[in-house]
Amino acid sequence: MFEDVSSAAGLIIVLGYVAIAIIDAVDPQLIGVLNAYTEVPNYTNPVPQPPSWPLHPFGTTFPGIDLYQAVMAAIRVDLWYSFLIVLVGALIGVIIGVTAAYLSGFFDEILMRITDIFLSVPYLPFAIAVGFVLGRGLDELSLALIVVWWPLYARYARGQALAVKENPYVEAAKASGVGGWGVITRHIMPNVLTPVFVQVSLDLGTVVQTFAALTFIGFASSNPYLPELGTLISNGFPYAISAPWGVLFPGIAILIFAVGMNLLGDGLRDALDPRNRT
Amino acid sequence: MTLRYYVIRRLLLVIPTIVGLTLIVFILTHVGGDQRFLGEYINIHSPIPVATQEQQLSEKFHLNDPVIVQYFYWLGAFFQGNWGYTQTPIFSGPVLEAISLFLPNTIVLATFSSILTIMIGIPLGVWSAVRKNSIVDHASRVISFIGYSLPVYWLGLLLIIVFASPNVCQCLNVFPISGAVTINLTNNLSWFRAGISYPTHILLIDSLIHGRLDLFTDATMHLVLPVITLTYSILASVIRVMRSSMQDTLDQDYIRTARAKGLPNSVVINQHARRNALIPVLTLMGYTIAGLLGGVVLIEAVFNLPGIGYWTTQALISGDIGGIMGGTVIFGLAFIFSNLVVDILYGYIDPRIRY
C-alpha cells in the first residue's frame, strides 16, 4: 500500500515536471514565463530582491532576473539534457552489452575490458577531462556525461543478456534458422530492455543532479544568463547569506525532481522485477 | 591459490588499468590540437618570434609525432616523476608539487568523513534492521532516501545559509563557512604561504608542530561543515546496504540456532550477525570511495577549500592540460587502489572466498 502511494506520488511529480517542460516549450505564458532572461525593470542595485507576490514569487537573482521564470525555463533545459544523456547512454550501453554477450569469447573479453577501464575512473574528474576536449557548453557537457554513463549500462545489459541467452526460446529461434541479427533484435533485446528501462528511471534523478553539479562548478559556461538550474545556484552562491532564495529555489527544484524520480524508479523496479522487492 | 598469489595477481592487473586510464585521459586532453597546449608556454614578450617559439616547443614536446607516440613519451616521464606543469590561478609549477600541496587537504576531509560514515552508518543500519519498522528504522530510511536525492553541493549551501545567516539565529554563527583557516590568524607566519601550510601541508598537524593551538582549533572548526556535508552524501548508501544485509543475515539458520541455544540477544546480534553482515558493506566501501572522490570536487568548491578537487576544477576552467591530466590520474589511482585494498580485504575477511 505504502509502495503504491509513494510511486504514484513519484509519477505525479515527474509528470508535473514534464508538463512544465512541455508548456515552457510550447506556450510559456501559461505558467507565467514571459521573457525569462531579460533583466527586471526595477533591478537597480546588485542585491537580489526577496520574494514578493505576485510580481516576483521566488524573488530576483543575479544578474537581475526574475527567479520564478528562470527556474521554470531552466527545468525544461535540465530535463531535456538529462533524458538525452540517459537514453543515449542506455542505447549505446545496450548495443555494446548485448553484442558482447551474444558474441562471447574474445570479443566479449575485449569489450568488457574496455568497459572496465571506463568504469575505473571516478565520473566527475572523467567528465572534466572529456569536457576539456569538447569545450565548455551544455551540449558538450551532455556528451561528456554520455561517455561517462554508457559503461554502466553496457555492463548491466550484458549481465541481463547473458541470462536471457540461455533460455530455451533463444535456442529454438536459432534452431529454426533465425540469423544472429534476428536473434539479438527479436529475442534477446526485448527482454533486456525492460530491466534497463528500470535502471534508466533509477538513474534519471542522479543524472539531473550530476548535470546541475557540473554546471555549478562552472563546467558549462561562465554566462550567467544560461537557463540552467546549476548555473542559477551558482549565480545565487555569492549572495547566499543575504539573499538565500537565489540558492534555495533552484535547489528545491532539483531536489523535488530527484525525489519524484527515485520514488517512481523504486516503484517501477518493484513492479517489473519482483525479486528485488524489499 | 594462496592469498599471496592472489594479491600479486591483483597487483599485476592494476598495471593495464592504469595504462588504459592514462591513455584515455591523455588522448582526450591532447587530441584537441597543439595550439591550446602551446598557449601556456609561449612568451609573447620574448624577442624570439612566436612562430619560432611554437616550432621549438613542438619539437620539445614531440607534438609533431602521432598522439599515441606522444603518450609513450608522457608515460616514460610519468614513471620518472615528471608529470608536467600546471598553470592555474591558485598554483603554477610542477604537477607533482601541486598534488603534494593540495592532496593532504582532501585526504583530511575524506578521512574524517569516512570515519564518521562508518561510525554512524553501520550502527544505524544494524539498529534499523534489528528493530524493523520502529521509529529509528523509519527515520534512517527517510535519511537515506533524502540522501539519494539531495545534491551534495546544495546541502553545503544550505548549511552555509543556516550557520552564517544573521536572520536564522546568532547562536549558530559558530562554524566558519569558507576556506581552511581564518586568514588573519596566518598573517606573518613563516610556515604558511599562499593558503598552504608547511612542512606536512596538513594544517591540523603543522599547527601542532609549531605549537599554535589556536590555529589548530580554528582549522578544526573550518572542517566541521565540509565534513558533515561529505558524510551525509555517502551515508545514505551505507545505511541502506547495512540494513538489508543485516536483515538477510538475521534470517539465516545459524542465527536461529544461536537464539535456540539461549544466547542473549546482544551476543547474537553483535557477535554472530553483525560480523557477517559487514561483508557486503565492505564491497560497498569501494563504491563509496568513488562517491567520496566525486563529492570532494563539489564540496571543496562550495567551501573554498584548497584541495585536489578545487585545483582540478580551476584547471578545467582555465584550460590547463597539466592540471586536468594530473587531477584525473590522481583520482583514478585513488579509486583503483582503494578498490584493490577492498578486494584483498574481502578475501581476507571471508574465508569462503577462494581466490
Give pLDDT tens digits for B111-159.
Answer: 899 889 888 888 888 888 888 888 888 888 888 888 888 888 899 999 9
Residue A105 has pLDDT above 70, yes or no: yes
Terminal-residue alpha carbon distance, chain A? 13
Residue A277 has pLDDT above 70, yes or no: no
Q: What is the pLDDT of residue A45?
A: 57
The three cell numbers locating residue B244: 538489508
Residue contact A217–B313, C-beta within 8 A: yes
Residues of B in contact with A131 (CB under 8 A): 316
The three cell numbers locating residue B24: 584515455
The three cell numbers locating residue B107: 585526504
User: Mind telling me how many Å the CA of A60 is from chain B's nearest CA?
Assistant: 17
Q: For residue A44, what are the CA distances in angstroms to A38, A60, A63, A226, B352? A: 14, 12, 11, 21, 71
For chain B, give the mean pLDDT.
80
Residue contact B28–A240, C-beta within 8 A: no
Residue B323 has pLDDT above 70, yes or no: yes
Mean pLDDT of B195-200: 77
Residues of A in contact with B325 (CB under 8 A): 129
Residues of A in contact with B146 (CB under 8 A): 259
Q: What is the pLDDT of residue A78?
A: 92
Q: What is the pLDDT of residue A257?
A: 93
Residue of B nearest to A123 (CA): B294
Residues of A in contact with B160 (CB under 8 A): 240-241
Residue contact A128–B312, C-beta within 8 A: yes
Backbone angles phi, psi at B106, to 5 degrees: -65, -40
The percent of residues above 90 in pLDDT, for chain B, comes to 4
Q: How confident is the model at residue B355 (pLDDT cuts 50, 70, 90)?
A: very low
Q: Which carries the bigger pLDDT value, residue A215 or residue A2?
A: A215
Residue of B nearest to A259 (CA): B149
Mean pLDDT of A162-191: 84
Q: Residue ranges of the alpha helices (H) in chain B?
A: 3-30, 34-39, 50-60, 67-79, 95-130, 135-149, 152-164, 203-209, 213-250, 253-260, 265-267, 274-302, 308-317, 321-349
Yes or no: say if A149 and A89 are a contact pair by the CB < 8 Å rule: yes
User: Mind telling me how many Å the CA of B13 is from chain A's nearest CA?
Assistant: 11
Residue A116 at interface with chain B, using a CB cutoff of 8 Å: yes
Yes or no: say if A58 and A249 are a contact pair by the CB < 8 Å rule: yes
The percent of residues above 90 in pLDDT, for chain A, comes to 14
Q: How confident is the model at residue A167 (pLDDT cuts 50, 70, 90)?
A: confident
Neighbours of B355 (CB within 10 A): 14
Residues of B in contact with A205 (CB under 8 A): 148-149
Residue type, B39: G
Cell 584483498 identifies what position?
B344
Residue A237 at interface with chain B, using a CB cutoff of 8 Å: yes
A176: CB partners within 8 A, 6+ apart? none
Distance, CA of B315 to CA of B89 (rounded, Å): 9
Residues of B in contact with A209 (CB under 8 A): 149, 151
Best of A6, A203, A204, A217 to mutate (most B CBs within 10 Å, chain B) = A217
Q: Give the angle subtended at the CA of B227 by the CAs of B224 and B229, to the nearest 5°.
A: 110
The DSSP secondary-structure symbol of B31 reads: T
Rank A224-228, A274-278, B223-227 by mean pLDDT and report only the highest: B223-227
Residue type, B118: I
The DSSP secondary-structure symbol of A178 reads: -
Distance, CA of B347 to CA of B355 (rounded, Å): 7
User: Mind telling me how many Å the CA of B214 is from chain A's nearest CA?
Assistant: 27
Q: Using alpha carbons, select from A183, A125, A210, A111 the residue that is nearest to residue A153.
A: A111
Residue B350 has pLDDT above 70, yes or no: no
Backbone angles phi, psi at A55, to 5 degrees: -70, -55
Least confident stretch, A122-126, A267-271, B203-207, B306-310: A122-126
Neighbours of A17 (CB within 10 A): 20
Mean pLDDT of B290-302: 82
Residue A120 at interface with chain B, using a CB cutoff of 8 Å: yes
Residues of B in contact with A113 (CB under 8 A): 16, 20
Residues of B in contact with A259 (CB under 8 A): 145-146, 149
Q: How confident is the model at residue A57 (pLDDT cuts 50, 70, 90)?
A: confident
Residue type, B340: L
Residue type, B239: I
Q: Which carries the bigger pLDDT value, residue B35 or residue A38?
A: A38
Distance, CA of B354 to CA of A43 (rounded, Å): 69
Q: Which carries the bigger pLDDT value, residue B291 or residue A267?
A: A267
Q: How confident is the model at residue A198 (pLDDT cuts 50, 70, 90)?
A: confident
User: Mind telling me how many Å the CA of B43 is from chain A's nearest CA?
Assistant: 23
Residue contact A213–B151, C-beta within 8 A: yes
Q: Give the angle subtended at the CA of B107 by the CAs of B101 and B109, to the nearest 5°.
A: 115
Residue of B nearest to A124 (CA): B294
Q: What is the pLDDT of residue A251?
A: 93
* Residue of B17, B32, B331 lying closest to A125 (CB–CB): B331
Residue A265 at interface with chain B, using a CB cutoff of 8 Å: no
Mean pLDDT of A255-264: 91
Q: Using alpha carbons, select from A20, A257, A120, A242 the residue that is nearest to residue B24.
A: A120
For chain A, give the mean pLDDT.
82
Q: What is the pLDDT of residue A3?
A: 65
Mean pLDDT of B17-25: 81
Residue contact A126–B166, C-beta within 8 A: no
The DSSP secondary-structure symbol of B44 reads: T
Distance, CA of A267 to CA of A202 (rounded, Å): 10
Q: Which carries the bigger pLDDT value, residue B10 or residue B309?
A: B309
Q: How confident is the model at residue A273 (pLDDT cuts 50, 70, 90)?
A: low
Yes or no: say if A219 and A141 are a contact pair by the CB < 8 Å rule: yes
User: For residue range B215-272, what is the model confidence (pLDDT) as tens digits?
Assistant: 888 888 888 999 999 998 888 888 888 888 888 888 888 888 888 888 888 888 888 8
Q: What is the pLDDT of residue B139?
A: 86
* Residue of B29, B297, B334 lying closest to A132 (CB–CB): B29
User: Mind telling me how many Å the CA of B151 is from chain A's nearest CA?
Assistant: 6
User: For residue range B53-86, what is the model confidence (pLDDT) as tens digits?
Assistant: 777 777 777 777 777 888 888 888 888 888 878 8
Task: Spell out a b/e string for B85-102, using b for 16 or more CB atoms within 10 Å of the CB, else e.
Answer: bbbbebbeebbbebbebb
Residues of A in contact with B17 (CB under 8 A): 116-117, 120
Residue A130 at interface with chain B, using a CB cutoff of 8 Å: yes
The three cell numbers locating residue A48: 537580489
Distance, CA of A26 to CA of A23 (rounded, Å): 5
User: Mind telling me how many Å the CA of A177 is from chain B's nearest CA?
Assistant: 40
Residue B337 has pLDDT above 70, yes or no: yes
Residues of B in contact with A123 (CB under 8 A): 290, 294
Q: What is the pLDDT of residue A278?
A: 45
Distance, CA of A129 to CA of A145 (rounded, Å): 11
User: Mind telling me how many Å the CA of A127 is from chain B's nearest CA?
Assistant: 10
Concatenating the DSSP letter of every residue in B163-227 gives HH-TTT-GGGTTS--SSSS-GGGGTT-TTEETTEESSSS-HHHHHHHTT-HHHHHHHHHHHHHHH
Residue contact A255–B150, C-beta within 8 A: yes
Residues of B in contact with A248 (CB under 8 A): 158, 161
Residue A219 at interface with chain B, using a CB cutoff of 8 Å: yes
Distance, CA of B16 to CA of A140 (rounded, Å): 29
pTM above 0.90, yes or no: no
Q: What is the complex's ipTM, to 2 decimals?
A: 0.84
